[in-house]
A and B are shown apart, each in its own frame.
Chain A
Amino acid sequence: MLNYLVQRLATLVPTLFFVSILIFGLQQLLPGDPALILAGEERDPTVIAHLHQTMHLDQPLPVRYLYWAGGVLKGDLGESVRIQKPVRELIFEKLPVTLELAALAIVIALSIGITAGIVAAVARDTVWDYAANIFALWGLSTPNFWLGIMLILFFSVTLGWLPASGYVSPFEDLKANLASMIMPAFVLGNAIAAVLMRHTRSAMLQVLNSDYVRTARAKGLDERVVVLKHALRNALIPVITLGALEFGTLLSGAVLTEQVFTIPGFGKLIVDAVFNRDYAVVQGVVLFTATAYILLNLLADLAYFAVNPRLRG
């Protein structure tokens, strides 16, 4: 386990290094003087001078990178030109909203995806299997922002059951919070449910054909116990770890979902930053996302390694 951890950490460092170069490199795509563009439309000479000084624009590129990376290592992701706040503070301000949305979406994705996957595997080549596969294709092919608009049309405009947009904190009013989050969470969870369904189906099919499941059946155990207790437990190991890799889909989806339902989260932060030409925020959000993704990947790998005795030798 320790050897594996050391090996994984050894690949983590260069990956993070290249992520930082990639994100620093984004700034170089801006035509002309970055300070002029970063200063926004007002082009306040004081702001431009300040940016020249803080970004070390008179220094060569590698030196500028070292200054930037040094700041990042100390937790300094720069400052928003528009809101005049540290990017790190902005991210941590918006993150809880997106985390709540993501958590609800995962609950929905797990409930739908794993149930559909089990049904499809147990009832292989029946109408249930075909229905689950059609559901998966539907989930993978539906643009989530369109699904969001259609849900608003049905549940908010036609039936008037749920609010079309906005966000209420769970600490203010839990019921109103759930009412405002249920549609976005379903939209976000839908695509992940499709992926989880496919993973669960194939893992279950593999496990259901194994010797120990045949033994459990031969012992005369109830089929429900065989499927849920014996087969599912082992089938879920790869599903959960593969599911962790869907974190990227979750964050990409959150950008669009938060835009459709006007939820003031992490996704809306990056979109607003793009339109306000607040590039430090864009860079900060991408860097934070990538780092979180890498760390989550590492945790998923370690979890897989820990729960799978065959890998431990």
Chain B
Amino acid sequence: MATIAADLPLYREYSPGQRVLRRFMRRRGALVGLAVVVFFVSLALFAPWFSPHDPLQASWSAVRKAPSALHVFGTDEIGRDVASRVIWGARASLLAGLVSVSIALSLGVPIGLLAGYAGGWTDGLISRVTDAMLACPFLILAIALAAFLGPSLTNAMIAIGISATPVFIRLTRAQVLSVKVEDYVEAARAIGNSHLRIALRHILPNVVAPLIVQATLAIAAAVIAEASLSFLGLGQQPPAPSWGSMLNTAKNYIDNAPWMAIWPGLSIFLLVLSFNLLGDGLRDALDPRHK
């Protein structure tokens, strides 16, 4: 017996968290995505240190100057440094992504939990309202909400958050429906736990994984949505820098100052791509059955 045990290779026992981390670390795309996200978050947090110039400082002697040693990404139509505006614009994009998804999560998860757990007419009512919200295309609903709330970054975040909520309601509800029939939930009910305790302590922790994945992908969608609303003039208002509003101005000068459009657009693309890669990696790590 002792000989057999000695001959067996040593397998280390990993906790579920360690297994997820190991699977995630094997996804090169996800790691690149994470690195780029960390890079943009650092840019946004430390914008005053990274920014070479004041993003609002106009200079009439440097209007639409091509990239140079002094202005690495060139200058815009009133002589502001494009690189500094791109760095400060990361704040608006990331803030919009995080705040809108937080709004969507804080509304969608409790409502989805209630629908899935309670069932019956509560579920029917919530599901029909969710269907109604999902019937309005995401950006069109966000535009309509932003239009009625008034143009500003805060209202754009609220509009995007509300528009993204039904996806989280539906996802949470679907997860709860499959988890609530598990034996451990039955056991929790049998020993007399309250409904609130069962929902929060036994069901919610077991539906978190797909929500994390969806939240990551939703941040990517929210970044594009904020840029779209700002591009249309419904998000961040000038002169505050935002990638979408920079592109809106840049399209008028595309024939003689293309650098005004290249860098903010490339930044949106890279940030969204990184969140998509990160989301795909998290999905593979958290749910290895999914391919």
Contacts and interface: CB of A to CB of B under 8 A. Distances in A.
B147 A14 contact: no
A308 interface: no
B234 A286 contact: no
Contacts of A187: none
B87 interface: no
B273 A27 contact: no
Interface residues of B, number: 43
Contact of B147 (A137, A256, A282): A282
Contact of B148 (A19, A29, A285): A29
A5 interface: no
A162 interface: no
Interface in A149-175: 149-150, 152-153, 157, 164
Nearest to B267: A146
A30 B146 CA distance: 11
Interface bracket on A: 35 or more
Contact of A286 (B136, B146, B224, B227): B136
Contact of A248 (B137, B231, B273): B137
B232 A11 contact: no
A285 B144 CA distance: 9
A146 B268 contact: yes
B128 A286 contact: no
A77 to B, nearest CB: 14
Interface stretch (A56-64, A82-90, A111-119, A289-297): A289-297
A101 interface: no
5 contacts: A19-B135, A29-B149, A252-B139, A256-B232, A286-B136
B286 interface: no
Given A27-B148, A141-B276, 5 more contacts: A29-B149, A137-B273, A143-B268, A157-B255, A259-B231
Interface stretch (B50-58, B187-195, B246-254): B246-254
Interface of B: 128-129, 131-133, 135-141, 143-149, 220, 224, 227-228, 231-234, 247, 250-251, 254-255, 258, 261-262, 264-265, 268-269, 272-273, 276-277
A22 interface: yes
Interface of A: 11, 14-19, 21-23, 26-27, 29-30, 137-138, 140-143, 145-146, 149-150, 152-153, 157, 164, 247-249, 251-253, 255-256, 259-260, 270-271, 273-275, 279, 282-283, 285-286, 289-291, 293-294, 297
Contacts of A141: 220, 269, 272-273, 276
Contacts of A252: 137-140
A293 B250 contact: no
Contacts of A16: 132
Nearest to A286: B144
